[in-house]
A and B are shown apart, each in its own frame.
Chain A
């Protein structure tokens, strides 16, 4: 379809680059629903029994795999399809993500209707996971090209949307299920269908809005910084050559360790807060704490990525590692001192840096490897997320279980984990310290035929 071609998305005269962030948000706000998928877990355990689980109903442990498969396929698809996304352009990628995301919901609705779990694994897990991967990386390089003066802020806005998608999806899903549920039926399938249609519409609007800048376009009054002044390269590196550089793997570990430190506590925040402060933090207050953490997770994505435009990407990660180390070491003391306020403040800052790690990394990659394949390289880097998604929860859950089994009071069962998280951030600090400018032998040459883009006609887009 020529409408989807990259050449058809080149901005014409009068186009404002500030139209691109909402286009990106159209996609990220939708796929961010993934963080709210857990609202379906309990209703899906009662599809047969309606008011309570009956024989034949699905177990929570089986349903937990839906989200895990989706996140696994996020990592796989962003790595596999990254180059295709980069070369095919953002509109084709967003359109594909919309088809897969809506398709995933519709297939899952069918799976719920005939009560066959593997169809939901296939629908939301595989198809939805592919949409997550393609959708997540699709607007990144486009935003970086439109905002060479503030790449961190630009990608921060989009990736903030991924964090914010759950805020919309969670109440919307609960409301829809309430509307479709009757005394004899749980309205999960109908909710999936409505969500699929609504998300498809939203994402298609994004794909229509999105534009790429013409070749050589720069914002009015912007002059590119001097070469290597702040570890910012003006040379592009081919996507698969980036894998051969130590910089890629160092940043991979920086992201993996930063995410590992955050994702484990994010998943266990409710239980952890109640166990560390028995009698002080009730289940209702713990739910409020989780909500507050989600807000800081989202806000941190914009705040830290925007800050990185001023202090530099490497320094931003130094802040994550040093401040994170101090805060993780402080958490056990807040527990022993009974300081709920101290505990809450520590974790709100930690979780803001967890979100900030995600949103700052595309601009870090752009600084290292140039803009041409930054989306594809970002896709490859997201495998660090998949890895951290396994490490983080395992560290928190298993070490807590080990401590409790060996007689450690529940209020202190997380202390060892906090010190291990702090240790991980020390390793992250070292990896970040070792990041230097990419060697010139990896730079693409002018006549490099790999991944040649279709010529982009010049036009008068505006800043």
Chain B
């Protein structure tokens, strides 16, 4: 039983929400990963 089994284009509002919400968590996470990676490179220096 599926409520809506037909793939359909997402409404623009949903797409905007998706982009914003992923940026909201993605930007700090990517910053943290890059920062850690830079520090981790000291292992090879």
Contact = CB atoms under 8 A, between A and B. Distances in A.
B33 A289 contact: no
Interface string A209-229: 100001011101100000000
Interface string B6-44: 111011011001100110111011011101110111111
Contact of A161 (B17, B29, B31): B29
A79 interface: no
Contact of B40 (A216, A291, A459): A291
Contact size class for B? 20 to 34
Interface in A1-40: 13-16, 18-19, 22-23, 25-26, 29
Interface stretch (A105-113, A163-171, A362-370): A163-171
A167 B25 CA distance: 13
Given A22-B21, A23-B21, A285 B2 contact: no
Instruction: Assign chain A's interface to a size class.
Output: 35 or more
Given A294-B36, A458-B3, A16 B10 contact: yes
A281 B18 CA distance: 44
Chain A binding site: helix, strand, loop or mixed by DSSP? helix
B31 A26 contact: no
Given A288-B43, A461-B3, A168 B28 contact: yes
21 contacts: A16-B14, A16-B18, A19-B14, A22-B25, A26-B25, A161-B25, A164-B33, A167-B33, A168-B28, A168-B29, A217-B3, A221-B7, A284-B42, A285-B45, A286-B43, A288-B44, A289-B40, A292-B40, A295-B36, A461-B4, A462-B14
Interface of B: 1-8, 10-11, 13-14, 17-18, 21-22, 24-26, 28-29, 31-33, 35-37, 39-45
Given A19-B18, A167-B29, A168-B31, 7 more contacts: A16-B14, A22-B26, A26-B24, A164-B29, A167-B36, A171-B32, A462-B4
